[in-house]
Chain A
């Protein structure tokens, strides 16, 4: 099946404006008759729920945390891009569009990326109006810095807590709507099924995480903004509750999963300290503005980094990519770091780390300025490692961070299941095979504030409000299905804990489907995952009952989904016989080790249709066309 992304035809510069005009509208008096269910309250979901509520729709918003303010968007540190060109350094919507297409290694849709670049400017204005305290200069103007993959300073920031501040902005807008009564917020609930009636998304079945009650909420449309799936690796930079569950259950109800193999391994994370570890901590890429990456030239050089003289250090990014240097994009910087370590020149425990050195910057601008720019990051680093990065280099190693794949959506952010919309990291749309820094926040807010309010109306205008009631047979069936699934988990009463299974899966995924993949490792993963899954369903131990606060049951459901999803991820990576962005197949590389794309055969979005667990999924393709940025070898040299 050839998928249609429904992108507007004609000149790209006016594509969004023309499309927006062509979209159907819902009469203001009719908006309140429609109910929209929004799952997830991060940047995309929080912004969407607030904006839709403000428009007059009846919104119900759901999150698994105890407050919408705790969504994992809050952990983003570095910044958010916009094409404002305030610094007068040559930025434009076109340049942001161009950088993003190229950064994504030509595996994103042009029209979606153009729209993202265009509305980026509105986002900054919106957040400023909400009282987001962006960094300002002494004249009172907004300040900018630069980020990986760009040669202009287009990143807006709020110390090292930009994600937090933007999320609090969206959360405050959401709180305002809760007060106004347009949004009903259901915290501590987890979506466990999608209710599809006559082929259209009409509800969700949730578990109340406090009481354990399973119930269905019906609506006229469902918006998923549930984030990413890289916790499939067990150790990642994601929050512990981040999972693929909502997306995966929607996938099982017919939504196609696009490009699952595109995962981002972020280059600047704090290296793992031991087997006891529960998560990896990311250090903002903005650190690479002032920090210089290096590894000792000599193998196995165990000296304290401060004792290694200048001429015995290899500033490998500056050497290999002179024009972008330390600001090379994430996939490139990650692979370069791994190369140093694989070559036996890594630092720290197990040789799994490289140095990120601020001594030159401290000499240049002084410790106070560095503290001003990154103070909280240095503090965080010290808490975790017990090392003072003002006095010695930080140690860094790449870690799973972000998923560029997600549910397939068209230009309207609508999945192939009518009425099911997917926003932010949960969809696949704008990042291609690699995400540039400071663009995740941009996408979340673009989708939530400035895309979905227009595109969802087009669907609702064709829909009779309130068509499905809570007593519909599909709702009852969904509740029964979820209950029996949970009971199955609770009744296994095996010997291994959920975490043990998750760790084992993570090991398979990291070693076989991680930063470098080959036909051999992928086939190995595809063999091992079903075996582990089978063992899980025979030998997992989940304590407690369903009708109570039960964190083991929550985790068991999430890991069960990862055990199915991981296999799809490996299959997608195996079928994509090329390297692109974060998807690096060792069989496909240039003589100098760079990723080698195969545009002739793989210039498409790969979207998978679920056919059953232990059955082969079916691949559907959406061809990608590049009319505005010509397909070229991606070079940052």
Chain B
């Protein structure tokens, strides 16, 4: 099939950007979205033009590196799918596709489709861990974890840190990302000791990094390639309230 692409090109963080038009010809329906872009790039290189730069790595939907807004939706809008796992069979011959980078105040554009997601690191560094030491920990079965709690923690832990939740949110909020880590650790006995300190530190870091607040649009959940549920935001709020009254 043949497609028309409108791609955001921006040479640097301070340069102005704009959409440019490209043709993608003879696209196979079995190609992934990124493989389609690879081919467009091969043509651009041969013409001596700068290829479109975009973030990608594992290309199997788990590293969280790829980050494109396709036709207005982060990761292209197929349920629970990263861009790298989006296949061209979801498009039709003659389609026009708009490709842009993550849009959020906290994610400055570095070049073309690549943004700087360091703000997410800052949130993790504020408290997204248990302060256990290497070695000198108890046997894995010393603290029992009921299966429902382990499953709940795992549901939250599936977050791949791609930032689609931020890009989808009208407020540019990182609540879903933050809540996933807070909820995971709050649900496990290993994480309980520091739960109050953690939720306060991570919430502060989130605000300091320039993310907006949550106003219950649920766009984050809709865009999340791993289906992280907004119930974790409720958990985050509850943990925060608990911590304030402690």
Chain A interface (Cβ within 8 Å of chain B)? 47, 50-51, 54, 65-67, 69-70, 72, 74-75, 84, 86, 122, 124-142, 158-159, 161, 164-165, 168, 171-173, 175-176, 178-179, 185, 187, 210, 239-241, 273-274, 276-279, 281-282, 379-380, 383-384, 386, 449-450, 453, 495, 497, 499-500, 541, 543-544, 548-549, 551-552
Contact = CB atoms under 8 A, between A and B. Distances in A.
A239 B63 contact: yes
Contact of B48 (A47, A239, A543): A543
A379 B12 CA distance: 37
Interface stretch (B120-128, B166-174, B211-219, B231-239): B120-128
Contact of A129 (B28, B117, B118, B190): B190
B190 A128 contact: yes
A129 B137 contact: yes
B157 A133 contact: yes
A67 B121 contact: yes
B58 A549 contact: no
B55 interface: yes
Contacts of B137: 125-126, 128-129
B72 interface: no
B126 to A, nearest CB: 7
Interface stretch (B1-9, B93-101, B146-154): B146-154
A622 to B, nearest CB: 30
A128 B58 contact: no
Interface in B27-74: 28, 30-32, 34-35, 38-39, 42, 45-46, 48-51, 53, 55-65
Contacts of A187: 118, 121
A278 B35 contact: yes
A596 to B, nearest CB: 35
Contacts of B50: 543-544
A165 B226 CA distance: 14
Interface string B97-131: 00000000000001100101110110011101111
A282 B62 CA distance: 12
Chain B CB count within 10 A is highest, among A47, A50, A210, A383, for A383
B49 A278 contact: no
A281 to B, nearest CB: 5
Given A279-B59, A543-B48, A158 B154 contact: yes
A464 B145 CA distance: 47
Nearest to A185: B121
A499 B38 contact: yes
A54 B134 contact: yes
Nearest to B78: A383
A129 B138 contact: yes
Contact of A551 (B49, B51, B143): B51
Contacts of A171: 124
Nearest to A279: B59
B132 to A, nearest CB: 4
B110 A277 contact: no
B179 interface: no
A225 to B, nearest CB: 15
Chain B CB count within 10 A is highest, among A51, A173, A179, for A179
A276 B150 contact: no
User: Which 5 residue pairs of A and B lie closest in terms of their CB atoms, listed nearest first?
Assistant: A140-B144, A172-B129, A129-B137, A133-B153, A129-B132
Interface residues of B, number: 75
Contacts of B118: 66, 187
B162 to A, nearest CB: 10
B85 A383 contact: yes
B51 A168 contact: no
Nearest to A70: B63
Chain A CB count within 10 A is highest, among B63, B89, B114, for B63
Contacts of B42: 497, 499-500
A277 B36 CA distance: 10
B135 interface: yes
B209 interface: no
Given A159-B154, A278-B59, A51 B116 contact: no
Contacts of A127: 140
14 contacts: A67-B161, A75-B58, A84-B140, A125-B140, A129-B138, A131-B191, A133-B184, A164-B62, A175-B124, A175-B129, A185-B121, A383-B85, A499-B38, A552-B51
B134 A72 contact: no
A125 B137 CA distance: 6
Nearest to B11: A548
A75 B60 contact: yes
A138 B147 contact: yes
Contacts of A544: 50
A86 B62 CA distance: 30
Nearest to A237: B60
B246 interface: no
B147 A497 contact: no
A143 B43 CA distance: 51
Given A129-B138, A497-B46, A175 B121 contact: yes
B239 to A, nearest CB: 14
B123 to A, nearest CB: 9
Contacts of B138: 125, 129
Contacts of B53: 549, 551
Contacts of B62: 74-75, 161, 164
Contact of A173 (B56, B116, B121, B134): B134
Nearest to B59: A279
Contact of A278 (B32, B51, B117, B135): B32
Contact of B58 (A173, A239, A276): A239
B128 A158 contact: no
Chain A CB count within 10 A is highest, among B129, B150, B184, for B129
Given A179-B125, A278-B38, A549-B114, A66 B190 contact: no
Contacts of A128: 137, 140, 143, 190
B57 A51 contact: no
A51 to B, nearest CB: 4
B110 A210 contact: yes
A543 B64 contact: no
Chain B CB count within 10 A is highest, among A47, A139, A282, for A139
Contacts of A277: 31, 35
Contact of B150 (A135, A178, A497, A551): A135
B217 to A, nearest CB: 26
Given A70-B65, A131-B190, 17 more contacts: A75-B62, A130-B132, A141-B141, A141-B144, A142-B140, A158-B157, A175-B129, A178-B125, A240-B58, A278-B34, A278-B35, A383-B87, A450-B134, A497-B42, A499-B42, A541-B46, A549-B110
A168 B135 contact: no
B133 interface: yes
B135 A122 contact: yes
A543 B51 contact: yes
Contacts of B184: 131, 133
Given A131-B188, A161-B158, A179-B125, A136 B46 contact: no
B185 interface: yes
Given A75-B58, A161-B158, A499-B42, A50 B134 contact: yes
Nearest to A541: B45
A133 B110 contact: no
A276 B139 CA distance: 48
A544 B116 CA distance: 21
